Amino acid sequence: MRESIGGSQLFMIVIVLLLLFTAFLCLSINYTAAYKVSDSIINTIKRDEGYVPDNVSQALQEAHYVTRAQNGNSVCPNAEWTQIGLDGEVSVDNKPAICVKKTKVSEESMPDMYYYTVKVFYRVDVPILSSFSLSTTATTPNIYSPLDDGIKES
């Protein structure tokens, strides 16, 4: 009973721990990339003081989101969210790349103050298991009298 754990069991434990560490590392790298995309969109909306489709499309391309976007399985949480395609325009085919919601701060606010919430969908491909999606949500600070941009108000 000197060696209760043999060499093969110890080798399997090391392999499992190595796989868990690698999976955690891959997930954190993909989540960081998704956060970079949502941060780029939020910065674009803040800079333009509202949603401008051409500038958001350019921000998506600069963040290399077009090649990593979730294709077809993403769904906006409810009808208050506006579906946006990869081109930055409002999407009607229920396959959004991002979802944007425009919320009024309060009814009494003078001038009109809104904030935008952006939900970015991201695809993670795991060769052995399969692929799955994750999302990040980010919010802008209050924007005074934003552009009339076609985004639904809630």
Contact assessment for residue 30 and residue 124, using Cβ atoms and an 8 Å cutoff: yes
The span from the CA of 10 to the CA of 17, in Å, is 11
Encode pLDDT of 55-98 as tens digits. Answer: 887 887 777 666 555 555 677 788 788 887 776 666 666 667 78
Single pTM value for the model: 0.76
- Residue 34: per-residue pLDDT: 80
Domain definitions of the chain by residue range: 7-144
132 sits in the region (left: phi over 0; alpha: psi -120 to 50; else beta) called beta
Encode pLDDT of 3-18 as tens digits. Answer: 667 788 888 999 889 8
Q: Find the length of the chain.
A: 154
Contact assessment for residue 137 and residue 119, using Cβ atoms and an 8 Å cutoff: yes
Encode pLDDT of 106-146 as tens digits. Answer: 777 677 888 889 888 877 766 666 677 778 889 999 888 77
- Output the CA angle 9-10-12, nearest 5 degrees: 65
- Residue 139: per-residue pLDDT: 92
110 sits in the region (left: phi over 0; alpha: psi -120 to 50; else beta) called beta
- Residue 57 C-beta-side C-alpha neighbours within 13 Å: 10
